[in-house]
């Protein structure tokens, strides 16, 4: 299969691919998603095959407004409508109970709920409207690898496996959306993202900051809860935000292979780095680091001589919670401890 690179002016052509049951990757403000007609079970199953994704890992349904949610979900509460009014379009995915049989089990992972999101990207909104159907849209990468934040990342992983990539440049946020479960008695955050728990509480009052993973015998209600995610080929180690990076530099110099280092500019300037270290800037703060995290991991994935990656951690509050959630999964919870 030839994978086309579509420009924003090619939305109608990309929509035709969707209508014919093909897969087209699309841009959002978070990461690129792998789009298929959410009402076409055969097309949805192609998503799992293209990504190598486990079939019990539910997919997010991307819509262009509340009307599509109301078509498939049980009647929405006033609180749910307030959330949608406040945060959509934007980086918030909401799980609702479904009307029986309204969406295929291939979309829901066999659950009676589904996750919905209205992305904040006009090109993708135009694509959804032109296709005339909601789109499933997991991250457009090989399952388990760092999520794609550019069309080039998508092409690298899925060239020849999908019909096209709709290129709208680099994504803005760089980590996936917050996932909020509204199918339970008390709303629960299942995945932290661009909308923080405090922002949700300002609308809902009470929100549980839930566990963000499940055990092997549990069914995940949201993507990223069960399987290894965001991992490059090299082993990632988290260097805590208050660590002495000069000692990290000394440790790196003793390694027999090339070492990747992903830090903010301030940390980068605070140490003398040996010749076997390659630096990747995460910018100035947690916002820029979140935007650049997956780009950096993918950068080092293209350098097989890099066997270890030291990556700066941040305090897990606000956007830092989402950043550390992704970094911990990328590192397999491995923290690099440097004694002061």
Please report, in range form, the residues annotated as the binding site for L-threonine: 30, 62, 117, 177
Annotated binding site: 30, 53, 57, 62, 113, 117, 139, 147, 177, 191, 230
Q: What residues does 336 pair with on adjacent strands?
A: 239
Collapsing DSSP states into helix, strand and coil, what is residue 1?
Answer: coil
Annotated binding site for ATP: 53, 57, 113, 139, 147, 191, 230
In DSSP notation, 267-336 reads HHTTSPPPTTEEEEE--SSHHHHHHHHHHHHHHHHT-TTEEEEEEE---SSTHHHHHHHHHHHHHTT-EE
- Residue 152 has which token pair? 């080039």
- Residue 228 has which token pair? 């290894």
CA dihedral 303, 309, 313, 318 (to 10 degrees): 30
In DSSP notation, 117-186 reads E--S-HHHHHHHHHHTS-EE--BSSSTTSPPP-SHHHHHHHHTTTSSEEE---S-SS-SPPEEEE-SSSS
Task: Judge contact between 228 and 144, C-beta under 8 A.
Answer: yes
Q: State the Cα–Cα distance between residues 281 and 266, nearest whole angstrom.
A: 10
Of 267, 270, 301, give the one whose Cα is nearest residue 281: 267
């Amino acid at each position: 299969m030839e994978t086309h690179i579509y420009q924003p002016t090619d939305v109608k052509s990309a929509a035709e691919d969707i209508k014919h049951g093909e897969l087209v990757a699309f841009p959002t403000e978070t990461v690129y998603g792998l789009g298929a007609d959410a009402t076409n079970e055969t097309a949805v199953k192609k998503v799992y095959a293209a990504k190598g994704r486990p079939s019990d890992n539910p997919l997010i349904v991307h819509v262009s407004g509340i009307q599509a949610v109301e078509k498939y979900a049980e009647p929405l509460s006033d609180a749910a409508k307030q959330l949608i009014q406040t945060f959509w379009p934007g980086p918030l995915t909401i799980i609702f109970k479904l009307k029986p049989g309204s969406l295929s089990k291939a979309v829901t992972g066999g659950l009676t709920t589904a996750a919905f999101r209205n992305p904040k990207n006009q090109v993708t909104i135009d694509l959804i409207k032109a296709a005339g159907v909601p789109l499933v849209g997991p991250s457009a990468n090989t399952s388990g690898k760092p999520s794609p934040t550019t069309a080039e990342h998508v092409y690298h992983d899925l060239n020849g496996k999908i019909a096209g990539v709709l290129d709208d440049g680099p994504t803005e946020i760089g980590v996936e959306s917050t996932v909020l479960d509204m199918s339970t008695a008390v709303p629960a955050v299942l995945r932290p993202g661009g909308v923080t728990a405090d922002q949700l509480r300002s609308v809902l009052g009470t929100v549980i900051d839930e566990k963000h993973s499940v055990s092997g015998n549990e069914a995940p209600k949201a993507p990223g809860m069960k399987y290894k995610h965001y991992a490059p080929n090299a082993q990632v180690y988290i260097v805590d935000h208050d660590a002495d990076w000069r000692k990290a530099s000394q440790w790196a110099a003793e390694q027999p292979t090339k070492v990747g280092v992903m830090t903010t500019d301030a940390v980068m300037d605070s140490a003398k780095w040996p010749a076997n270290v390659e630096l990747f800037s995460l910018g100035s703060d947690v916002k820029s680091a979140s935007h650049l995290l997956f780009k950096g991991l993918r950068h080092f994935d293209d350098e097989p001589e890099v066997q270890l990656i030291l990556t700066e951690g941040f305090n897990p509050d606000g956007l830092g919670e989402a950043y550390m959630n992704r970094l911990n999964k990328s590192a397999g919870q491995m923290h690099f401890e440097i004694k002061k």
